[in-house]
A and B are shown apart, each in its own frame.
Chain A
Amino acid sequence: MPERKIRVLVAKPGLDGHDRGAKVVARALRDAGMEVIYTGLRQTPEMIVESALQEDVDVVGLSILSGAHMALLPVIAQKLKEADMAHVLIVAGGIIPDEDIEKLKNAGISAVFNPGTPTQEIVNFINTHVTFD
């Protein structure tokens, strides 16, 4: 187990306002002992990277249901790297077709959780894959 609490930024990139999943996951991570910061809606890649830096998080969780994931998620991963946050674990959730998941993984998104994923699976993934800078 990690020696300190895992810090997670849950963010909603893009325009879609469907925040049910983001909120449920944020609460599940908090109940699992993590420190969770939720950005709220309509975050640009720049805003998300800025929040990740400010909050000094270990994990960034991105929730998107609008279908704009291919345009936005790789940009966020790239900008995190450029901001010296390459160690940050990036995970995503939403309505994301299988064929896009591989591409997102190559772009630096470590895991994509589709609808129906038990929250415990997300908790376990973060616990086993997080690294502390």
Chain B
Amino acid sequence: MSNNDISRFEKSKQEWEETTLKKTLSARPERAEKFITTSSRPIERLYTPKSFSPDEYLEKEGFPGQYPYTRGVHATGYRGKLWTMRMFAGFGTAEETNRRFKYLLEQGQTGLSIAFDMPTLYGYDTDAPQALGEFGKCGVAISSMRDMEVLLDGLPLDQVSTSMTINSPAAVIWAMFIAVADKRGIPRKKLAGTIQNDILKEYIAQKEYIFPPKPSMRLVTDTIEFGTEHLPLWNTISISGYHIREAGSTAAQELAFTLGDGIEYVKWAIERGLDVDAFAPRLSFFFNAHNDFFEEIAKYRAARRIWAKVMREQFGAKNPRSWLMRFHTQTAGASLTAQQPENNIARVAIQALAAVLGGTQSLHTNSMDEALALPSEMAVRVALRTQQIIAHESGVANTVDPLGGSYFVEQLTDEMEAEAWDYFEKVEALGGVLPAIEAGFFQQEIADAAYRYQHEIDTRQRIVVGINEYTSDEALQIPILEMDPQGYEVQVARLNEVRRTRDNRAVKSRLADLRAAAKGNKNTMPVILDAVKEYATLQEIMDVLRDVFGEYQEQAII
């Protein structure tokens, strides 16, 4: 707009405020004095163009598939290929989860996503004393390569990509996966998938850490190095905001802390001597989709723009594949209510739509019953169908970035980006991500936001349907998943058989190799692979690393 246009615009806006708006407000005041997002961000009544120039458009938004990727990473958006519908699943024994995966593939799912149980996530075998009561509750139990063979039995590993939500023991579980593929004769170059492998957000939010930050970062860097060399289609890390958000952060904190973590991983890999353009194209991201529709969309758009700038300007990446941010999205578990669980279908649909309008590469939609228990087959099917309805019926996939140019969305995108840069500076002032973790900075920011959110609900500044408004005392009518009651015995029997039938001398020798590698600075991945192939158990391997690296204790903050 020229100066003349601007003054004409401002004059019209003022006229509107003094006439039409004033009249409306006097006839009917607004519903609240202040309107806020899920993240407590104030929202204005109306967004209008602040300015428009082709130069500014090209700098901030550009064209899809081009720097800075604000409008998406593909030139044709979803007109070329829909997002991958990837439902996260895992419970009980490897047999049960294998059956669930086959069911999901039959229902039209297009990628696999494995959830592991708590003992596996902490590197304990199913029969460890620390694992009491936890077997198969939050995912599938994997204690040795034998379990992995059962889990992946009959699944087309060379045709679908597999995502594994595993962090502290990521190297070991990934090694088991690779070992199964090796045994089946599938070339490593053809294996596509993701390991979450994002340890920083564990210290920040989800708390499934084992070792202190530095040796943990070394293991992550080992996997990045190994993947860069041997598995060109594998995403060696999924830098995750999801758990940061679930722990109670705002959308802007999720954005800033996740990208801050991403920058830290890049620094470590470069420090290792890797060329940024060799590994950066295999970095992937994982975000939450919460209730606040436009705030979420703005978050994804800002994320792509910031990452592109960071990779090109800060790290000097030359390959456009290094600049573009690809991400998975999951709808917000913490937004689901145990009360009137059917209402969660509507919440998930809104959240999933935001993820799609934000340009996600893959999506998990939560099931309506997840505030109560593990999802039943029926609930999972409805959640998957929700994605299919968005893809095929809503029409939103017909054009690229349909909300680009929305005054509101563009302004929110700018605001989110500015907040992220502010946070990067704050973290830098604390000495970087690791010192900020040790100082409890992220943890305190998140705890404060979580408390504020709960306070807003308790004081009814925020309405949650079925919680503090429109409540109902009707009894729940929802089928709950029943797990195999013999599952634990099946799993422990298999584990004991593995321990009995393997070559125990070879196991001992591989574990000694691992100890030596961990103490030195050789990449640990090849020795971990050798150990899992001899059926060393997850815990045996992790215990060696615990012994060498030590265990981390956080300073608890409330």
Chain A interface residues (CB < 8 Å from chain B): 10, 14-20, 23-24, 26-28, 30, 36, 38-41, 44, 66-72, 95, 97-98, 114-116, 118-120
Cβ–Cβ contact A68 & B133, under 8 A: yes
Q: Return B298 CB to nearest CB of chain A, in Å.
A: 24
Q: Return B200 CB to nearest CB of chain A, in Å.
A: 14
- Given A16-B138, A67-B138, the answer on whether A26 and B558 have CB atoms closer than 8 Å is yes
User: Could you list 22 examples of A-B contacts with CB < 8 Å?
Assistant: A14-B133, A15-B121, A19-B207, A20-B334, A23-B451, A23-B557, A27-B451, A39-B556, A66-B137, A67-B134, A67-B137, A67-B374, A68-B137, A70-B133, A71-B134, A95-B338, A116-B371, A116-B464, A116-B466, A116-B467, A119-B458, A120-B458
- Given A20-B450, A66-B137, A72-B133, the answer on whether A14 and B118 have CB atoms closer than 8 Å is yes
Give chain B interface residues in 365-380, CB to chain A under 8 Å. 371-374
Tell me whether B206 is interfacial, beta carbon within 8 Å: yes
Q: A119: which of B122, B130, B454 is its contact (CB, 8 Å)?
A: B454
A36 CA to B498 CA, complexed, in Å: 46
Closest Cβ neighbor of B370 among chain A residues:
A95
Report which residue of B457, B466, B556 has the largest number of chain A beta carbons within 10 angstroms of its beta carbon. B556
Give the chain A neighbours of B468 by CB distance below 8 A.
Answer: 118
A1 CA to B476 CA, complexed, in Å: 36
Interface readout for B537-558 with A: 1 if CB under 8 Å, 0 if not? 0000000000000000110111
Interface of B: prevailing SS: loop
Give the chain A neighbours of B447 by CB distance below 8 A.
Answer: 23-24, 27
Tell me whether B337 is interfacial, beta carbon within 8 Å: yes
Q: Return A18 CB to nearest CB of chain B, in Å.
A: 7
- Given A24-B454, A41-B554, the answer on whether A71 and B248 have CB atoms closer than 8 Å is no
A36 CA to B246 CA, complexed, in Å: 24
Q: A40: which of B132, B208, B247, B554 is its contact (CB, 8 Å)?
A: B554
Q: Return B475 CB to nearest CB of chain A, in Å.
A: 9
A114 CA to B339 CA, complexed, in Å: 9
Cβ–Cβ contact A15 & B556, under 8 A: no
Give the chain A neighbours of B248 by CB distance below 8 A.
Answer: 20, 24
Cβ–Cβ contact B338 & A115, under 8 A: yes
A17 CA to B334 CA, complexed, in Å: 14
Q: Return B34 CB to nearest CB of chain A, in Å.
A: 22
Give the chain B neighbours of A114 by CB distance below 8 A.
Answer: 338
Tell me whether B119 is interfacial, beta carbon within 8 Å: yes
Sample of 5 further A-B pairs with CB below 8 A, known A23-B558, A24-B450, A68-B134: A14-B133, A15-B119, A20-B248, A24-B454, A68-B137
Q: Return B301 CB to nearest CB of chain A, in Å.
A: 27
Q: Return B496 CB to nearest CB of chain A, in Å.
A: 21
Give the chain B neighbours of A68 by CB distance below 8 A.
Answer: 118, 132-134, 137
Q: Return A48 CB to nearest CB of chain B, in Å.
A: 14
- Given A71-B132, A95-B373, the answer on whether A116 and B337 have CB atoms closer than 8 Å is yes
A102 CA to B334 CA, complexed, in Å: 25
Interface readout for B450-473 with A: 1 if CB under 8 Å, 0 if not? 110010011000001011100000
Tell me whether B390 is interfacial, beta carbon within 8 Å: no
Report which residue of A38, A66, A67, A70 has the largest number of chain B beta carbons within 10 angstroms of its beta carbon. A67
A68 CA to B119 CA, complexed, in Å: 11
Cβ–Cβ contact B339 & A71, under 8 A: no
* Count of A-B residue pairs with CB < 8 Å: 103
Give the chain B neighbours of A36 by CB distance below 8 A.
Answer: 558
Give chain B interface residues in 107-160, CB to chain A under 8 Å. 118-119, 121-122, 130-134, 137-138
Closest Cβ neighbor of A120 among chain B residues:
B458
Q: B372: which of A66, A97, A119 is its contact (CB, 8 Å)?
A: A97
Cβ–Cβ contact A97 & B207, under 8 A: no
A59 CA to B553 CA, complexed, in Å: 25
Q: B556: which of A14, A40, A95, A118 is its contact (CB, 8 Å)?
A: A40
A81 CA to B497 CA, complexed, in Å: 40
Give chain B interface residues in 27-64, CB to chain A under 8 Å. none
Q: Return B246 CB to nearest CB of chain A, in Å.
A: 7
Tell me whether B436 is interfacial, beta carbon within 8 Å: no
Cβ–Cβ contact B372 & A95, under 8 A: yes
A30 CA to B447 CA, complexed, in Å: 14
Closest Cβ neighbor of B452 among chain A residues:
A24
A71 CA to B458 CA, complexed, in Å: 32
Q: B138: which of A10, A66, A116 is its contact (CB, 8 Å)?
A: A66
Give the chain A neighbours of B339 by CB distance below 8 A.
Answer: 116
Closest Cβ neighbor of A39 among chain B residues:
B556
Q: A20: which of B122, B132, B138, B246 is its contact (CB, 8 Å)?
A: B246
Report which residue of B118, B130, B476 has the largest number of chain A beta carbons within 10 angstroms of its beta carbon. B118
- Given A15-B134, A70-B133, A95-B371, the answer on whether A116 and B118 have CB atoms closer than 8 Å is no
Closest Cβ neighbor of A40 among chain B residues:
B556
Give chain B interface residues in 240-290, CB to chain A under 8 Å. 246-248
Cβ–Cβ contact B134 & A118, under 8 A: no
Tell me whether B480 is interfacial, beta carbon within 8 Å: yes
Give the chain A neighbours of B132 by CB distance below 8 A.
Answer: 68, 71-72
Give the chain A neighbours of B374 by CB distance below 8 A.
Answer: 67
A24 CA to B450 CA, complexed, in Å: 7
Give chain B interface residues in 422-455, CB to chain A under 8 Å. 447, 450-451, 454
Cβ–Cβ contact B118 & A66, under 8 A: yes
10 cross-chain pairs, A with B, having the tightest CB-CB distances, nearest first: A71-B133, A17-B207, A67-B137, A68-B133, A40-B556, A15-B118, A26-B558, A68-B134, A116-B467, A115-B338
Q: Return B9 CB to nearest CB of chain A, in Å.
A: 45
Give the chain A neighbours of B553 by CB distance below 8 A.
Answer: 40
